[in-house]
Amino acid sequence: MQFNFAVKQQWLRALLMAGTVVTAVTIGTDAWADDDPVTPAIPGVVAGGVKISLIKDGFTGTEGPIGLPDGSLIFTETQANRITRIDEDENVTTYIADSNGANGLALSPSGELYAVQTLKPRVGIIHPAEKTKILAEKYNGKPLNRPNDLVLDKKGGVYFTDPGINGPLKPGQSPTQPAVYYIKPSGELLLIDSEIKRPNGIQLSPDEKVLYVANTAGEYVIAFDVAADGSVSNKRNFAKLEDALQTTENGPSSGADGLAVDSEGRLYVAANTGIQVFTSKGEFLGNIVLPKKAQNIAFAGKDKRTFYIVGRGSAYKFPTLAQGYTGRAK
């Protein structure tokens, strides 16, 4: 079956909106072979017709991408219990072999690698070995469920999401509700929201005055104003995920997952229909459609002008006009 990529985009969008799980069987193993996926033109973000390059597929779980100072990218293969590195020449190597099921990653200015971890649910520093540290395992005496994503602020605090149990309860497990937390620089763990149905990706604006949370089960990215002490207020619907809502057995879902920001404060959201891009005011700019559903995203490269996407066992990249925010790893 041969048809151009623009038609494929429309076809894939229709399948996603119908709630269809799109796999290689659904679309055929050669369904993308006649045309490489390309970007739409989004002013200031990406030129039109830029090739979206497949780096590699066959990974075991794909989450948590962040750029390293040397220009490479690392991301988590959560199900394989490892962290994988892709250098600027697309060489793929193991970065950390035993990650305690790390999912989201963050890097401090002094080089400590932070991770939310799922095998023994916790948040902490996992690298280098001499600086490993557990920052949070419980809230009010109850274990965390399955921490998903995190972002560090300049004060040394950590915001992270815990969307709840994924799958059956383990023996003796008493789950807490889905929540967003803040670990203060002092180490105190604060609950900052427990009403988002399924909090997932989390990110700060470049000036750290706004906290964004992706709600997988809703149609909006949620925003909070951030005070000097790290506390939040003025919770609101920030950006509506255009045409991304689909019906699942658990109700409506936008599929909102990983988040990224660029140097101009634009917000990038991995959602059911692709990578949706918004201004710093929540205005929709465009959607970048991919062959597979994106799970998480990041700017990387020495100049942070390469956009990486990981999802459903694959990793992709394309060059951008926008530059990722350089004030932190992501």
* Domains of the chain and any CATH numbers: 36-319 (2.120.10.30)
Region 194-201 average pLDDT:
96
Predicted confidence (pLDDT) per residue in 216-243, tens digit? 999 999 999 999 999 999 999 999 998 8
Count the Cβ atoms, other than its own, within 10 Å of residue 59.
22
pLDDT digits (tens, 9 = 90+) for 74-99: 999 999 999 999 999 999 999 999 99
Structure tokens at 149: 């994503």
Residue 175 is predicted with a pLDDT of: 65
The whole-angstrom distance between residue 21's C-alpha and the CA centroid of its chain comes to 20
Written in H, E and C, the secondary structure of the chain is CCCCHHHHHHHHHHHHHCCCCCCHHHHCCCCCCCCCCECCCECCCECCCCECEEEEECCCCCEEEEECCCCCEEEEEHHHCEEEEECCCCCEEEEECCCCCEEEEEECCCCCEEEEECCCCEEEEEECHHHCEEEECEECCEECCCCCEEEECCCCCEEEEECCCCCCCCCCCCCCCCEEEEECCCCCEEEEECCCCCEEEEEECCCCCEEEEEECCCCEEEEEEECCCCCEEEEEEEEECCCCCEEECCEEECCCCCEEEECCCCEEEEECCEEEEECCCCCEEEEECCCCCCCEEEEECCCCCEEEEEECCEEEEEECCCCECCCCCC
pLDDT tens across 126-159, in order?
999 999 999 999 999 999 999 999 999 999 999 9
